[in-house]
C-alpha cells in the first residue's frame, strides 16, 4: 500500500474509535501494515488538498489535525479513485 492509502485505511478502520488524527498517530512502528513514519504530515496534507470535501482540518499547536467527514460520505465517495473506494469498503467498520 502507498502511504496515503495506509493513512486512509487506518482512518477508515478506526472511524468509530478516533475522530481526529495528527501525524504522530501514523508514526508508530507498532502499527504494522499501517505504519507511515515521518512523511505522515505530508501525506495527510496531500489527502486534505486532493479531497477537500472529505477531509476537515484544524490547527492545534504545531500540527494540523485532520478528520474524515463521515457524516458527508455521500458527497465525496464518488470523487475518490477506485483504490481509495476499495480501501473504504474493505475497512468499513
Domains and CATH numbers, the chain: 3-90 (1.10.10)
Q: Which three cell numbers stand for residue 89?
A: 469498503
Predicted pLDDT of residue 38: 93
* Burial category of 53 from C-beta neighbours within 10 Å (exposed 0-12, middle 13-18, buried 19 and up): exposed
Neighbour-count burial for 30-39, b at 16+ CB within 10 Å, e otherwise: eeeebebeee
- pLDDT of residue 31 exceeding 80, the answer is yes
pTM above 0.85, yes or no: yes
Asked if 54 contacts 76 with a C-beta cutoff of 8 angstroms, the reply is yes
pLDDT tens-digit profile of 41-63? 999 999 999 999 999 999 998 88
pLDDT tens-digit profile of 70-88? 999 999 999 999 999 999 9
Q: Which three cell numbers stand for residue 60?
A: 492545534
Amino acid at each position: 500500500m502507498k502511504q496515503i492509502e495506509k493513512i486512509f485505511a487506518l482512518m477508515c478502520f478506526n472511524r468509530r474509535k478516533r475522530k481526529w488524527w495528527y501525524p504522530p498517530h501514523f508514526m508508530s512502528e507498532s502499527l504494522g501494515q499501517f505504519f507511515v513514519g515521518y512523511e505522515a504530515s505530508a501525506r495527510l496534507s496531500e489527502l486534505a488538498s486532493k479531497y477537500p470535501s472529505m477531509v476537515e482540518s484544524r490547527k492545534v499547536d504545531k500540527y494540523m489535525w485532520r478528520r474524515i467527514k463521515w457524516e458527508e460520505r455521500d458527497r465525496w465517495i464518488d470523487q475518490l479513485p477506485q483504490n481509495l473506494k476499495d480501501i473504504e469498503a474493505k475497512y468499513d467498520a
